Homo-oligomer: A and B are copies of this chain.
Amino acid sequence: MISSLSLDQLRVLVAIADAGSFSAAGRNLRRVQSAISQTVATLEATQEVTLFDRSGHRPQLTDTGRILVQQARMVLASAARFEAVAAGSRQGMEAELALAIDPLVPTAPLIGSLRALHETHPQLQISFSTEGLGGALRRLRAGDVSLALCLLLPDAPEDVTATPLIRINLLPVTAADHPLATLGRPATRVDLETHIQLVLSDPANRHGPNYGLTGSAPWRFVDLGRRMDFLLAGFGWCRMPEHLVKEHLDAGRLVRLTLDDDTRGNTDPLTIYAAHLADRVPGPAGRWLLSNLAARVAD
């Protein structure tokens, strides 16, 4: 046998440390004292350590023994976590919750909900991925994640079930020193097409549809942060979620564009959906997260 150490030996050791004597530990564990004595003896023999100092009346933990009791508590704690995970999945709890979210999803409420989820279900492993636009849906379809927070444009697929979660306003904006900012009248399609549009695009699908594409000279970005850098630097215009540009608008670094009727078609609020595969319903933890998140964004 590679190692003869057993959890039972550790349980006995900790019980002795807690109870204060071999006999008391035996009573707590419902074993006779001799069994305790013997377990300690074999533990000491197999590990070749002296756990108790027998010179006095009742055995006293040695220095080594005290440290090993601490170690034993840690082992038992991790064993308890093992059993907690088992108990969780026994009640139908998924063993892990894998999430994917699209870049446009606001992270503030998500962070709060994830923290609350971890506190409620400490043994649940949570994994999280965010990639370019469309990545969340792709990971959902690939089976990598069980829950996606994503857009469903241009069309709602058949194989996923989605519930609306948040609506975010997209505002056409540009830098304060950009020509479009000083136009003095609503921008027409021609105005827009003569300037660079900074678009988010699905990196895996470069020639597919680009949500909100109007102009003809798009620069393509995968992540919002980098697009924001270019936007602030005055390289072009784009539609941005209201909550991300509010501060810049207030500070005057960005300005909101007014569009004429012709180009206003796709300025509807964008809806973020919580989606899962139709044949793979989220477990209790996933549903808990969704309801918590829904309550949080309702504020």
Question: Which A residues lie at the B interface, using CB under 8 A?
Answer: 2-3, 5-8, 10-11, 29, 47-49, 63-64, 66-68, 70-72, 74-75, 78-79, 81-83, 85-87, 89-90, 94-96, 125
Chain B residues contacting A96 (CB-CB under 8 Å) are 63, 67
* Residue from B3, B67, B90 in contact with A85 in the complex, judged by beta carbons closer than 8 Å: B67
Give, as a whole number of angstroms, the nearest-CB distance from A113 to chain B. Answer: 21
Give, as a whole number of angstroms, the nearest-CB distance from A2 to chain B. Answer: 7
Distance between Cα atoms of A15 and B177 in the complex (Å):
64
Identical copies of this chain, number? 2
Chain B residues contacting A49 (CB-CB under 8 Å) are 86, 89-90
* Residue from B11, B75, B125 in contact with A78 in the complex, judged by beta carbons closer than 8 Å: B75
* Residue from B6, B63, B71, B89 in contact with A6 in the complex, judged by beta carbons closer than 8 Å: B6
Distance between Cα atoms of A95 and B69 in the complex (Å):
11
Distance between Cα atoms of A235 and B90 in the complex (Å):
69
Distance between Cα atoms of A71 and B95 in the complex (Å):
11
B66 near A95 with CB under 8 A, answer yes
B8 near A63 with CB under 8 A, answer no
A95 near B68 with CB under 8 A, answer yes
Distance between Cα atoms of A71 and B125 in the complex (Å):
11
A75 near B79 with CB under 8 A, answer yes
